[in-house]
Amino acid sequence: MLIHLSSWPEIDARLNAGQPLSRTVVVPIGSNEQHGPTGLLGTDWLCPEIIAHAAEQADETLTVAPTFNIGMAQHHLAFAGTISLRPSTFMAAITDWVSSLSRHGFERIYFLNGHGGNVATIEATFSEIYAEWSFVEEQPPFVLKLRNWWDLPGVHGLCSSIFPTGHGSHATPSEIAVTQAAYPDRIKTADYSPRIAPNGPIRDALDYRARFPDGRIGSDPAQASPEKGQRIIDAAVPALLKDVADFAGEVRP
Amino acid sequence: MLIHLSSWPEIDARLNAGQPLSRTVVVPIGSNEQHGPTGLLGTDWLCPEIIAHAAEQADETLTVAPTFNIGMAQHHLAFAGTISLRPSTFMAAITDWVSSLSRHGFERIYFLNGHGGNVATIEATFSEIYAEWSFVEEQPPFVLKLRNWWDLPGVHGLCSSIFPTGHGSHATPSEIAVTQAAYPDRIKTADYSPRIAPNGPIRDALDYRARFPDGRIGSDPAQASPEKGQRIIDAAVPALLKDVADFAGEVRP
Amino acid sequence: MLIHLSSWPEIDARLNAGQPLSRTVVVPIGSNEQHGPTGLLGTDWLCPEIIAHAAEQADETLTVAPTFNIGMAQHHLAFAGTISLRPSTFMAAITDWVSSLSRHGFERIYFLNGHGGNVATIEATFSEIYAEWSFVEEQPPFVLKLRNWWDLPGVHGLCSSIFPTGHGSHATPSEIAVTQAAYPDRIKTADYSPRIAPNGPIRDALDYRARFPDGRIGSDPAQASPEKGQRIIDAAVPALLKDVADFAGEVRP
Amino acid sequence: MLIHLSSWPEIDARLNAGQPLSRTVVVPIGSNEQHGPTGLLGTDWLCPEIIAHAAEQADETLTVAPTFNIGMAQHHLAFAGTISLRPSTFMAAITDWVSSLSRHGFERIYFLNGHGGNVATIEATFSEIYAEWSFVEEQPPFVLKLRNWWDLPGVHGLCSSIFPTGHGSHATPSEIAVTQAAYPDRIKTADYSPRIAPNGPIRDALDYRARFPDGRIGSDPAQASPEKGQRIIDAAVPALLKDVADFAGEVRP
Amino acid sequence: MLIHLSSWPEIDARLNAGQPLSRTVVVPIGSNEQHGPTGLLGTDWLCPEIIAHAAEQADETLTVAPTFNIGMAQHHLAFAGTISLRPSTFMAAITDWVSSLSRHGFERIYFLNGHGGNVATIEATFSEIYAEWSFVEEQPPFVLKLRNWWDLPGVHGLCSSIFPTGHGSHATPSEIAVTQAAYPDRIKTADYSPRIAPNGPIRDALDYRARFPDGRIGSDPAQASPEKGQRIIDAAVPALLKDVADFAGEVRP
Amino acid sequence: MLIHLSSWPEIDARLNAGQPLSRTVVVPIGSNEQHGPTGLLGTDWLCPEIIAHAAEQADETLTVAPTFNIGMAQHHLAFAGTISLRPSTFMAAITDWVSSLSRHGFERIYFLNGHGGNVATIEATFSEIYAEWSFVEEQPPFVLKLRNWWDLPGVHGLCSSIFPTGHGSHATPSEIAVTQAAYPDRIKTADYSPRIAPNGPIRDALDYRARFPDGRIGSDPAQASPEKGQRIIDAAVPALLKDVADFAGEVRP
């Protein structure tokens, strides 16, 4: 069930359905930021959306929230089209999503993340949210979990086997392949060099652009294809369903 | 051009294209909130997205940002599936979108809004953003504009003529018709009564639910149909293009 | 009863008096900002104060708080003497007023507003305040209401009939007349042109000053007189008393 | 010149008048809080307003801002009618007043304070404001000064001589006398005991009420009279004018 | 008991020990800032740490928290090595320390302060913390107290008698002597003039440096010696133990 | 050079010494939190302090700031003695440290971290700080680096070789050994079981205590000894000096 294409009575019924996943919700979360010379700016929020929606197609008892499409992309701001929240803003927004979803009775909130640069702030936010309860000796009525889609069991290994060289860490062929599978009419090509982009530390936006002139880090995205993307999606869907089910079934200590 | 389905070099080229709309961007903005017994929870962000994307189809020189899909829906929180930002969070997030888009050279930022409940906070945010400049006698490098889609020239009149009674102000047949045109396989029906919902003041969430038990205000959404929705979209598209062009062409005093 | 000219035991007794208005309080709220070549900088907080104090003279069971005299006047900052809060500051301050008044048992808090530019932020603040309760399924112990003095029943019509042309929307003859009635020794005159000021959009402070060089929007304030001001006050007083009584008497759903 | 009863061209002219006080402004600042069984809730903002307005009557070259009437009164919240800002809100609001006044060219901003409980937060705010400049090796374009009216040269000694016993530190006969001089028709009486109230530490609101049941600290306010209040005002006015002139004339190092 | 050199079971046992001081904790708090040509940058946090640790040596039932070593030193920022929190940050941090210590059951939290410039912000913070409770008619589960080490009974008099001239208010011989007693191998000398530094108001950092070129205010720190410092410590230790015991034994009203 | 035991002229001279490390500063940063049945509450801030101070002993051209001793320990709050900042507070405080150090001319700020739970928030803070510059196309005048002491080259391998089993991730024998080397008179023992603590996810404080009843995660800290701790320190010191030198010598792109 996709929340945004459902009515409130449908969500209400779901929450009270007494199924294993009834009170668990998946939030696709990512970023809108440059993805090298050929990648879509939306790559990092499209990937978790594509995988979560495919999982919901496979198992309708999965509840999927709207996509949280703008994250922490400070270091990409020197490339046109990037939109970033400051970490403090990102934290406030995630907090409000959690407050809203918890209000309705969702007890397990699972963030399926598509952007490595989001991880630190999302984890900091979980602590910020929990702190309100920890300072007063209470347990929150919800449990939060963050999972990067590439860390779903089996997915990372598959990506490595498909792209043994030039996978890199930004504008990777695997993430670009996933978007190609879903948006085949938006595939872009470009001459770029070197074939495999350099690596290095990530700092402010101008520093980033100087180190990584076309935006890629360590990657050769031309290896991507829609077929490869579909293979990744096909592996990610059951892994996500299993991971969410495990999370929903965890007994709180 | 849809930013999220473009690469950064494409946006870069657009910004430097020297066309009338090159440095203007449209941000569809709405809310994810209950829309009565039959409306989609995503109605308020889907409508401006549907209209903006249709306009981009009609005139590719229009640049459209990703959709800002969660807004200020505090009063709807007693209905499952609603997700709301606090006004202070909403303000911070809009501010960061503006900072990001301005960073790239967008000089006119046009928010196409789909939720009446967003208006006050968006306007307050504009003042918050401008204040930074006004306190120090500087002019910001951008101009901001808010337009509700139903206030586009000609659209409100059309809606009134299609739905002379029972239009109301929440879960209106016009907004539901727009989503039906775009998502015909998600049309929902329900028995509800009274046929036309009551009116009243809007306050906190429990007060709202007590006054408006199924979520509607003053509306009879069963009058919606995909065909009526398409008529509204067809009227909104040229009105939006004209309105954005006028905004882009405004000379700053 | 004016709170600031009362002792705490008097307010305590009022709160426990069991009268219809005992637990309702009126907060005059406005702004200190330029009002054209002849208007007082205090116009927007003086008008609601004048009307509220006159109403309290007419019916001592009305409880009136001190005047909240600085509001959201970002767009007027290019004119000397304007003092503005950022919207975020304004929100925090209103929140603390509400927390304080609610602490004592005031259950209905009625803001009588004198500045159109305050409306968006005040409404956003109400949502911010309510959100704390809406996120946790509780009803706040108070109800908030915003009323612009010119929107009191009958007042707008009267102003239109007295000033059929050149009323405009800033530095209006009606608001200036109200201050003239109360401060007849502070009436100022000036040669200004055009007689009726231009209209246009409101943005940042330098933009405002460029569009509206003497500060007026659409108005011809020289039409004001103390007599006309007194007529407006005389109409507003009973309208306010009735409006507050209706608000105090509303049954919560 | 009282800003709120002036037009913007008048303030503009004042700023450019080249007089010793042209670019100095006095902000009366206080609190609305319980003042014992007989004191007015507005005492702490009325006193600096009364003295500043009297000084402006004596020397029209003094520029006086509207009164900042709500301050930090957390500890008085257990008494009806008290309105308090949290320190963080108070800081934000003072900051915006300073930003606004500085924007117009006021280079010396003098806060004439009427509430001891405001002192810590006002001083912290000055540091908060200065920090923005100190972190980047710049000097702010304004200088800030805080003066309690009872600390004006000669005033404290006069108060001590008029009220050798039972002056105390809250709901003092001197502050109540000042309001009696200005509002003789609002003089209140009450039987209270002990004649001189106890002393003790100031903490949260319930602790305060338990220690000081009628609100007074160390004072016997029944000693106040309008005549005594007038003597205090008469001493404070020249002291204020001198103190402001000294401040305006200070050479920055 | 020093918290940072204890294990959690030891602190747990202390809290439940039922001794007079079991639920009282001392927090040494200061600042890292310039202390003239010879003083250590850490002087203001070292002094309360030295005294509190010596007191814990004398009476192990005293519980001492880690030292809060960075405070409000905005005005010293023009001198290398100074580290300052903005007052708003300082307030947030103190609040979290209090929340943490209160969570464990500490009911009396005693801040032993080493920096006059901290006082305003610490007091404002206490009000900010209390406000949360005062707005809702509840009493906090803790009591907060601020004591400057030089205000401990007997200490100020001793310092005055040891340094009858040139004590001053910043980089005083007494505070420097205390650090000399504890860090005799870090004693520094310098030629400075005038022998006794000037006095004056404290404002922003550049203003401060212009008024007080070597950082001292009113002091002649060369009078310090380790022996004098030890005398001060020896006087401060029993005074602190007595003061904390009195605070712990206070009955809440 | 330890900043807190230096005078401001000494730091000033250092900044202008023109040595390779003159404008680089090391900030030991950690947390005060439970470390199992035998570990010191200060372990996580003592370890980086011990290593950084030992490095400064070895090479006096290293500049070391005071220790940032309270970090993000929300999940440990159910154990007495833990003191935690909320992530938002931690971010504000780190920001102010950076602003202060940068103000004096430190261009490379190296955080030597002792607490894994700090990492997410510190990284988020770096982005928050950089964002101010990235939004406006400027490069900050400083570069920030985070290094956990156990990630210094060679250190992790050494720890693994000393403690091949039962190292775990909280209250590890390696960190406890480091504190034992520095504070041999504070070594504590306890009977605990199981010998090697369980592993699991980290969430709110009550969840943590339920999963890890004595506070340890995966560790057997009884393996620690002062001698082993000294070996770790001896390995960490040159690794730190090399790592800082590399950082100081990095050419900005």
Q: What pLDDT, in 10s, does the model give residues F188-201? A: 999 999 999 999 99
Search chain F and give the residue with CA nearest E86. Answer: F96
Residue A188 pairs in a beta bridge with none
Distance CA A103, CA D94 (A): 36
E205 and E19 Cβ atoms separated by less than 8 Å: no
Distance CA A33, CA B7 (A): 9
Nearest to B128 by CA among C215, C42, A89: A89
CA distances E118 to C37, E30, E191, F101, Å, are 46, 7, 29, 20
Cβ contacts of C205 within 8 Å, gap of 6 or more: B130, B133, B134, B137, C74, C75, C76, C77, C78
In the predicted model, residues of chain B with pLDDT beneath 70 are none
Tell me the chain D residues in contact with residue F99 when contact means C-beta distances shorter than 8 Å.
135
Search chain D and give the residue with CA nearest F98. Answer: D135
Supply the mean pLDDT for chain C. Answer: 98
Grouped pLDDT means (10 residues each) for chain D, 253 residues: 98 96 98 98 98 98 98 98 98 98 98 98 98 97 98 97 97 98 98 97 98 98 98 98 98 92
- Record the pTM: 0.98
Provide the pLDDT confidence category of residue C13 given band limits of 50, 70 and 90: very high
Tell me the chain E residues in contact with residue A133 when contact means C-beta distances shorter than 8 Å.
none
User: What was the pLDDT predicted at F84?
Assistant: 98
User: What was the pLDDT predicted at B107?
Assistant: 98
User: Is A8 within 8 Å of B41 when comparing Cβ atoms?
Assistant: yes
When scoring D204, D247, D252 by the number of chain E Cβ atoms within 10 A, the one with the most, hence best to mutate, is D204
Provide the phi-psi class of C212: left if phi over 0, else alpha when psi is between -120 and 50, else beta. beta
Nearest to D97 by CA among D112, D115, D83, D111: D111
Residue E143 pairs in a beta bridge with E108
| Tokens matching residue D36 | 């014992």
E179 and E229 Cβ atoms separated by less than 8 Å: yes
When scoring F10, F33, F41, F188 by the number of chain E Cβ atoms within 10 A, the one with the most, hence best to mutate, is F41
Residue A123 in 3-state DSSP?
helix
CA distances D120 to D115, E116, E119, Å, are 10, 12, 8
- For chain B, the residues whose C-beta falls within 8 A of a C-beta of chain D are 134-137
Distance CA A176, CA E98 (A): 49
Q: Please give the CATH number for the structural domain made up of D3-245.
A: 3.40.50.10310
User: What was the pLDDT predicted at B150?
Assistant: 98
DSSP assigned state of C178: H
Tell me the chain F residues in contact with residue E96 when contact means C-beta distances shorter than 8 Å.
70, 83-86, 89
Q: Between β-strands A143-148 and A108-113, what pairing exists: parallel, antiparallel or unpaired?
A: parallel
Cα B31 from chain centroid?
Answer: 8
| Residue at token pair 């936010």 | A125
Chains E and C touch (3+ CB pairs under 8 A): yes
In the predicted model, residues of chain A with pLDDT beneath 50 are none
B149 and B179 Cβ atoms separated by less than 8 Å: no
User: Is A100 within 8 Å of C135 when comparing Cβ atoms?
Assistant: yes
User: What was the pLDDT predicted at E187?
Assistant: 98
- For chain D, the residues whose C-beta falls within 8 A of a C-beta of chain B are 99-100, 102-103
Distance CA A89, CA A71 (A): 9
- For chain C, the residues whose C-beta falls within 8 A of a C-beta of chain B are 72, 74-75, 77-78, 84, 86-88, 91, 117, 119-121, 123-128, 130-131, 133-135, 137-140, 143-144, 203-207, 210-211, 252-253
Cβ contacts of F87 within 8 Å, gap of 6 or more: A91, A124, A125, A127, A128, A131, F72, F74, F120, F121, F124
Nearest CB among A3, A7, A93 relative to B93 is that of A93
Name subunits touching C (3+ CB pairs < 8 A): A, B, D, E
Nearest CB among B6, B42, B186 relative to A81 is that of B6
User: What was the pLDDT predicted at D75?
Assistant: 98
User: What was the pLDDT predicted at F94?
Assistant: 98
Q: Is the dihedral of CA E164, E168, E174, E180 positive or negative?
A: negative
In the predicted model, residues of chain E with pLDDT beneath 70 are none
Provide the pLDDT confidence category of residue C102 given band limits of 50, 70 and 90: very high
Tell me the chain E residues in contact with residue A136 when contact means C-beta distances shorter than 8 Å.
103
Cβ contacts of E160 within 8 Å, gap of 6 or more: E167
| Tokens matching residue E83 | 């580290």
When scoring D31, D84, D100, D179 by the number of chain C Cβ atoms within 10 A, the one with the most, hence best to mutate, is D100
Tell me the chain A residues in contact with residue B53 when contact means C-beta distances shorter than 8 Å.
none
Domain limits, chain B = 3-245
Distance CA D97, CA D111 (A): 11
Cβ contacts of A13 within 8 Å, gap of 6 or more: none
